[in-house]
Amino acid sequence: MTTPLDIPVAEIAAGVRIGKLSALDIVSLALARVESLQPQLRAFISVDADRAMNLARKIDEQRAAGREIGALAGVPVAVKDNMCTTFGATTCGSKILAPFHAQEAAHVVDQLESAGAIVIGKTNLDEFAMGSSTENSAFFTTANPWDVSRVAGGSSGGSTAAVAARLIPGALGSDTGGSIREPASFCGIVGLKPTYGRVSRYGLVAYGSSLDQIGPIARTARDAALLLSVIAGHDPRDSTSANEPAPDYVAALDRPIRGLRIGVSEEYFGAGLNHEVQATVRAAIAAIESQGATVLPIHLPHMKYGIACYYLIATAEASSNLARFDGVHYGHRTPRPADIIDLYSSTRGEGFGAEVKRRIMLGTFALSSGYYDAYYLKALKVRTLIKSDFESAFRDVDVIASPVAPTIAFPIGEKSDDPLAMYLADIYTVSANLAGIPAISIPCGFDASGLPVGMQLMGNYFAEDRLLNIAHQYQQVTDWHNHMPALG
């Protein structure tokens, strides 16, 4: 049976604006569905039902009084729990931050709520966004709505599972090396990583500061465009925020794509790619071609170094960023330390999980005296080459199409003891972060077992409108985005 949670974000907001829908009823429905499915999915770390209901009640009252309400009025959403909020705790999926209550909200949270969206809670993630499955969360693993024995992906697995399961129509995630796109692919929904600097990172707890970017998660390209239009734009509080005007992403959706040039690089279709994933993505590219686009071969010679380059730069930045969690200022502190060294080491040993410790050690090693030039500096040089490859390709094509991940969602526990295998889940996504370009995952089919497959589109800097346009036009001739997992 169709409910208001099954209709698009814009339709929910429009219904609330004209009084056809009640914000209070929609939020109540969302909260009830979260309560019902949380034991199966474990998508949320925290839910603030009372606050959400109060905000919904105020929106209904404002509408009844004839006052202006925002573009997202009454739409229940969620944010990944590495974005600060002034309500509830911010945990980053880690024991070391419990309890931490931020004094200011993240810029994107303020933007959402200024537009009338109602943040009902905060979603699960791999600890400090370090992982590809949410199995690294200190609290629990989020399950995939299509098969609860499988991962939802990571690190934004809670947000993608919540949207795929129709708990909420939209959410925000963060993407450092694929953490929006990979779980979006695994869960069969749309996930967009904007250009670096397109969306303010103010209030996002840092993992890799030159790589992190916040982006929208939704069921359709149109919904993602509407969410992006609310959160995109310059923020003077973030020194890396681009002072670049944001276009009307929704208005750009209906442009015809005839004549657009789609680049396909064989580097994304090599060994290790599941044959069903490859066939499904190639069929999706052919569907875009049938709408009048031209498919051209391109070459990205340094893409093969992406994983090695990423896991040096990201871990080096993580080593620096996570040094602040020392038991002195906030968060967990070990009881009765013997001395100041014991305070630091025991606090961090008790508070951080195994994967975070691994990445801190890798990054610290890469930055250490005698190894800096051999590892970190070399990785920065390779990053420049990867960036140059994309710049060269975009002189010949408008977008680049590829798989999002080499496989469909894998069983929970399958890769837990093999970090390298887990890192390789990001092999097709990390290069977009290294180059700083935008990239989107859109659902493009299912494998024989009924699990979703995602196609990735990458664009030139600040070309989110073009990616969303192509994604939307693809969704006009396919219905993969309308499929729903069989949950209660």
pLDDT of residue 1: 59
Tokens 């602040």 — which residue? 324
- Measured CA to CA, the distance from residue 22 to residue 4 in angstroms comes to 10
pLDDT score recorded for residue 164? 98
The pLDDT tens digits of the residues spanning 101-149 come to 999 999 999 999 999 999 999 999 999 999 999 999 999 999 999 999 9
pLDDT at 488: 59
290 tagged catalytic: no
Q: Which of the following is catalytic: 22, 132, 155, 441? A: 155
Give the pLDDT confidence score for residue 165 in this predicted structure: 97
Residue appearing with tokens 């990053």: 383
Count of CB atoms within 10 A of residue 349's CB?
12
CA nearest to 202, candidates 89, 103, 322: 103
Encoded amino acid at 180, one letter = I
Phi-psi region of 44 (alpha: psi -120 to 50; beta: other; left: phi over 0): beta
Residues present in the chain in total: 488
- Given 133, 156, 179, 441, which residue is catalytic? 179
d(CA 44, CA 37): 10
Q: How far is CA 385 from the centre of its chain?
A: 25
3-state secondary structure of 149: strand
CB 331 within 8 A of CB 352: no
Rounded to 10 degrees, the C-alpha dihedral 153/154/156/159 comes to: 20
Alpha-carbon span 197 to 161, nearest angstrom? 26
Domains and CATH numbers, the chain: 4-256+460-482 (3.90.1300.10)
Is the pTM for the entire model greater than 0.85? yes
Instruction: From the candidates 22, 80, 133, 156, give the one annotated as an active-site residue.
Output: 80
Contact assessment for residue 5 and residue 26, using Cβ atoms and an 8 Å cutoff: yes
At residue 477, the pLDDT reads 97
**pLDDT for the residue numbered 301:** 97
Q: How far apart are CA 268 and CA 190, in angstroms?
A: 20
Active site residue 80: yes
213-218 and 190-193 as β-strands: parallel, antiparallel, unpaired?
A: antiparallel
Q: Give the residues across from 458 on adjacent strands.
A: 400, 439
pLDDT for the residue numbered 98: 77
Give pLDDT < 50 ranges for the chain: none
304 is a catalytic site residue? no
Of 402, 397, 412, 411, the residue nearest 463 (C-alpha): 397
